[in-house]
Structure 1
Amino acid sequence: MESAIHNSMQVASKLLEKQAIISNNLANISTTGFKEKFNYLVRNETKNTKNLNNFSNTQEKEYYNFSAGTLNYTDRKLDLFIKENGWLAVKDANGQEAYTKNGHLMLNNQGKLTVQNHEVLGDYHSIYPSDNNLKISSHGIIKKIEKQANKFIESKIGSLKLVRLPNENLLQKENGLFYLKNLNKNSILHDDSIKIQSGMLETSNVNPTKNMIDMISNARQFEMEMKMISICDQNEEYANRLLDINN
């Protein structure tokens, strides 16, 4: 009896964690460059494994869907689509290097390029464009455009740090940015082969229909586990009454 209650509680706990992930996916449907997340259980099979409902021999794994979202054409020079498996490097609030697919660049009050208030990193140094009159090439080279004597002059002010990352070694934190799990943050260098396209943004790749179905399914499973706990509790109470009568 106690074993059944314990297993149902473990299942219910996992379902709540899964429901939180699905809720976060749905909440970020409109977030530029967002990648949906899943989790699943991997059973460590051994010769001594007898009870299939025992969760003590399972391990929880995270999975991110890194497929591209649809493209939204904005015709804004500071909106970037980072192609294929390329990533844009930024600096988080703690000064640590992190990575994002969100290419909606903005200029903050200090004249720095930012993404969601995180400083965008250059391949060699910080970037201070100071104004929005910029041009970004397909290789991430940033040029300032100035009009002089009835002609436009382009001058390079920096380059974006674009990297290629191993998907299996990425972890997303609460700030929405991705980090490398095991590698040193300074070990990833700028990759000249990464291409970008200005004037467009990659939308979230969340599938709302699938996530809604998963949410409903999880809710029903959770209710079943709660009923199982309630039934086990009632059976235990009836058993105790019978023991009292017999005594």
Structure 2
Amino acid sequence: MENTIYQSMISANQLLEKQTIISNNLANISTTGFKEKFITTIQNYDIKNLYNNTNNKITKEYHNLSTGSLNHTERNLDLFIKDDGWLTVKDRKGQEAYTKNGHLKINSNGKLTIQDHEVIGNNCNIKIPKNINIKILSSGVIISIEKKNNYISEHKIGALKLVSLPSQDLVEKENGLFYLKQNNFLNQYTGTVPHSKKIHVQSGFLEESNVNASKNMIEMISNARQFEMQMKMISMCDKNAEYANQLINVNN
């Protein structure tokens, strides 16, 4: 009976963890570039101890990295990063991180930012001069456009660092940015992921969240019902234990 209660408590905790993930997915359904997350629980069997593996479970997090729907914004600083490409930014600690959110802004210091994280350039520091228009080519090259005396001049002022990353080696942190789990993909000289010429962007578009609202709502309802069932199981076992104690006391 104690084992039944213990197993129900473990299942209930796992369901609560799943509900937290689903709630976060639904909360970010309108967040640009957000990737749906889900968790799975795997039974890890020990061949040498088959009869004592009831609690030997591993919980793993996964992300759905499929492309979300595209929103045509017609804004030059809005970018859709194609295929398995990622934009590179600098987090609060100065560490290199990656995002699919292509909603770029220019801060007061002339730096390109995404959600207040500075965008990293490809072997350059990106500085946007004041009072000029810019466009971003599909290769990530940033061009300044100036019009003087009916003459339009264009100059390269930098380039975005675009990277291609293996999805199985990515992990998302609380700040919403992605990082590499392993270091074997890093450049041995710079300690960072190298720029990829194969990755391209499309200006004027933003990738929306890929969260499936109806699917997550169904899973949330299902988890709630399973949680209720586990709570009833615990309550029933507790009452049975109470009745058993009463019978023992009567017999004594």
Unaligned runs of 5+ in 1: none
- Where do residues 106-145 of structure 1 align in structure 2 (5 Å cutoff)? 106-131=105-130, 133-145=133-145
Q: Which residue type is aligned with residue 116 of structure 2? A: N
Say whether 1:213 aligns with 2:200.
Answer: no
Partner of 2:242: 237
Contact 2:120 2:160 in 1 (8 A): yes
Q: What are the Cα deviations for residues 150-180 of structure 1, in whole angstroms up to 9, with x where unaligned? A: 1111111100000000100000011110000
Q: Which residue type is aligned with residue 89 of structure 2? A: V
Contact 1:112 1:130 in 2 (8 A): no
Deviation at 1:220, TM superposition (A): 0.5
Contact 1:32 1:202 in 2 (8 A): yes
Q: Secondary structure of 1:39's match?
A: strand
Partner of 2:195: 190
Quick one: distance in 2 between partners of 1:49 and 1:116? Answer: 49
Q: Which residue type is aligned with residue 168 of structure 1? A: Q
Find runs of 4+ consecutive structure 1 residues off by over 4 angstroms: none
Partner of 2:63: 64
Partner of 1:101: 100
Partner of 1:161: 161
Q: What are the Cα deviations for residues 15-41 of structure 1, in whole angstroms up to 9, with x where unaligned? A: 101100000000011001110001001
Partner of 1:49: 50
Worse-matched range after superposition: 222-231 or 40-49: 40-49
Quick one: distance in 2 between partners of 1:17 and 1:130? Answer: 47
Count of aligned residue pairs for this structure pair = 245
Q: What are the Cα deviations for residues 24-80 of structure 1, in whole angstroms up to 9, with x where unaligned? A: 00001100111000100111234443478x2x2211111100000011000000000
Quick one: distance in 2 between partners of 1:120 and 1:201? Answer: 16
Contact 2:96 2:192 in 1 (8 A): no
Deviation at 1:125, TM superposition (A): 2.4
Q: Secondary structure of 1:189's match?
A: coil
Quick one: distance in 1 between partners of 2:192 and 2:175? Answer: 22
Q: Which residue type is aligned with residue 220 of structure 2? A: M
Quick one: distance in 2 between partners of 1:126 and 1:18? Answer: 41
Q: Secondary structure of 2:138's match?
A: coil
Contact 1:122 1:158 in 2 (8 A): yes
Q: Which residue type is aligned with residue 26 of structure 2? A: L
Unaligned runs of 5+ in 2: none
Say whether 1:83 aligns with 2:78.
Answer: no
Deviation at 1:130, TM superposition (A): 3.3
Say whether 1:6 aligns with 2:6.
Answer: yes
Say whether 1:23 aligns with 2:28.
Answer: no
Contact 1:107 1:130 in 2 (8 A): no
Quick one: distance in 1 between partners of 2:166 and 2:193? Answer: 10
CA RMSD of aligned residues (A): 1.4
Quick one: distance in 1 between partners of 2:50 and 2:232? Answer: 27
Normalising to structure 1: TM-score of the pair? 0.96
Q: Secondary structure of 2:50's match?
A: coil
Q: Percent identity between the aligned chains?
A: 60
Q: What are the Cα deviations for residues 105-156 of structure 1, in whole angstroms up to 9, with x where unaligned? A: 0011211100011000001122111346101000000011111221111111
Q: What are the Cα deviations for residues 187-243 of structure 1, in whole angstroms up to 9, with x where unaligned? A: 410001111100000000000000000000000000011111111111111111111
